Structure 1
Amino acid sequence: MSVSPGSSMRTPRRRVAGLGSARSGTGHFWLQRVTALANLLLILIALPIVIWAAGQGQAQTLAILGHPLVAIVLLLLIFSVCFHMRIGMQVVIEDYLPAEGMKVLALIANTFFTIAVGSAGAFAVLKISFGG
């Protein structure tokens, strides 16, 4: 039995095994789940703090939010939420934008947007924390 030069003896399943969107789909799937779990845990910690601070006057609220442990929790929450948002939007962009050029621009914009949102949130927390 002879095999033509352009054909393969591999089965269709074997030809596609391990291949996906740049072979990173599983990593993004798990990273999305891990950041979702981190978000849940951090929100469960931060929500009572924010509710408690909301019932206070401005000076007391600033003192509560300025506490180092509270600031660390809020910074971790901001980082985790922004990272989770970036991954989620990346999946949507990759799945639903057909044009390659638009896809690249949207992915770049997604990265810059999440960095801007995270930086603004971190700046606000740090400004309160350091009494600025």
Structure 2
Amino acid sequence: MADTAPTLRTLRSPLGRVRGLGAARGGTHHWWMQRVTSIALLPLTLWLVFSLAGMPDSTWQEATSWIGRPFNAVLLLAFLAAAFHHTAAGLQVVIEDYLRPELARMGAILAVKGACALLWLAATLAVLRIAV
């Protein structure tokens, strides 16, 4: 009687072997990007909070003038990019952890990434319209 069991044992799933994704290939980039955006958001959020706290009684003209300054516009654009990227990546993890059907998971991830991209684009265009 011939033994049909494979002689090499592996912890990778058959789907993982087909896709070529193992424990260290699929999520490492995602994990690092979460950390990088978190670190970037720390000083940017502090800057934004203290900047906005310093002008509580500002008029609309003063606020648009503040956004129009090149330094503030660049930091605001960096904040928007990091915040929306971090949001999309974080929601993707939540969806992957709690949504089981593959098609629903993929649709939800695409919807979240699309919404974050559109909101980032709208916010970026608003800042650029004021600053330029």
**TM-score w.r.t. structure 1 length?**
0.82
Structure 1 match to 2:92:
90
Give the Å deviation of 1:54: 3.5
Structure 2 match to 1:7:
6
2:59 and 2:100 map into 1 onto residues whose CA distance is: 51
Question: Any conservation in 2 of the 1:53–1:64 contact (CA below 8 Å)?
Answer: no
Give the Å deviation of 1:129: 1.0
1:52 and 1:66 map into 2 onto residues whose CA distance is: 17
Structure 1 match to 2:73:
71
Q: 2:32 aligns with which of 30, 47, 65?
A: 30
Give the Å deviation of 1:117: 1.3
SS of residue matched to 2:3: coil
Structure 1 unmatched ranges of 5 or more: none
**TM-score w.r.t. structure 2 length?**
0.82
- What's the CA shift string for 1:80-113, capped at 9, x where partnerless? 0000011111111111111011011111101111
Give the Å deviation of 1:119: 1.1
Structure 1 stretches of 4+ with a deviation exceeding 3 A read none
- What's the CA shift string for 1:44-77, capped at 9, x where partnerless? 2222222224332222221111101100000000
Structure 1 match to 2:22:
19
Aligned residue pairs, count: 123
Structure 2 match to 1:62:
64
Q: How large is the Cα RMSD of the aligned pairs?
A: 2.0
Whichever residue aligns with residue 87 of structure 1, its letter is A
Give the Å deviation of 1:27: 2.3
Q: 2:42 aligns with which of 34, 40, 43?
A: 40
- The alignment-based identity, stated in percent, is 31
Q: 2:110 aligns with which of 108, 111, 123?
A: 108
Question: Any conservation in 2 of the 1:54–1:61 contact (CA below 8 Å)?
Answer: no
1:100 and 1:37 map into 2 onto residues whose CA distance is: 32
